[in-house]
Amino acid sequence: MPNGSLLKWLHPDAIPQRDREIEIQKLTLLQRISIAIDVASALDYLHQHCQEPILHCDLKPSNILLDNDLSAHIGDFGLSRFYQAVSNPTVSSSIGVRGNNWLSEYGLGSEVSTNGDVYSYGILLLEMVTTKKPTDVMFEGGLNLHNFARMALPDHVMDIVDPMLLNDDKVLVGTDNHRRSQTRTNSTLECLISMVRIGVACSMESPQDRMNITNVVHELQSVKNILLEPKTMFNKQTDN
């Protein structure tokens, strides 16, 4: 893909200079929401709209590929399985050991299901918002990315998100522009809280407590609309 993997965009410092095919810029909040919707929509298709549900089993930033428009595509189906083919305990543990976030999900022999992909998606979404890897050295003992994000809801989300997302737009001056800027700031915070909440809901410890991926798509679409609304209103006022 022309724009490489999501890993390069979230953690450019982790990529050796010689392997950087393109100049990496920080993704905006709107771009991250759009990517999150693309990935959730792809999972929804794999889980709900194929003849048999397909499990990806290794959802992580390096397997999310970005095209020219930064639209996201899920890649590397090397560990993917048809649900019916892996719905027995003899296969689940091997997938858990080989997979990424599935290790904590199925490494202990839990039943394989679409909920495993949802769990990995939740961790992916939290990583996109915080730019913290689930393997970060700060996560030890009982602390992990899920708990880190859950404890920040709802009043301390600004303390854990990528600081760049809080400064997405240029500061506007003047009374009217200040009001628009404040509206934009409120919308940004509302969107960030919603994204963290969805990420936490998808990565709950109990599979039965996790959010349905179809609902994830709908909620993220609503989040995107909230973010776009102030910009749309501003453009209409400018045109008038």
Q: Could you tell me which of 9, 15, 125, 17 has the C-alpha nearest to residue 65?
A: 9
Number of CB atoms found within 10 A of residue 51's CB: 6
Q: In one letter, which amino acid is 103?
A: L
Element (H, E) at 54: strand 54-55
Tokens of 174: 């003047």
Tokens 């929509």: give the residue.
41
Cβ 64 vs Cβ 5: under 8 Å: yes
Indicate which residues carry an active-site annotation: 58
Per the listing, tokens 């404890």 go with: 151
First to last CA, the chain: 41
Q: Which helix (H) or strand (E) holds 98?
A: helix 89-98
SS3 175: helix
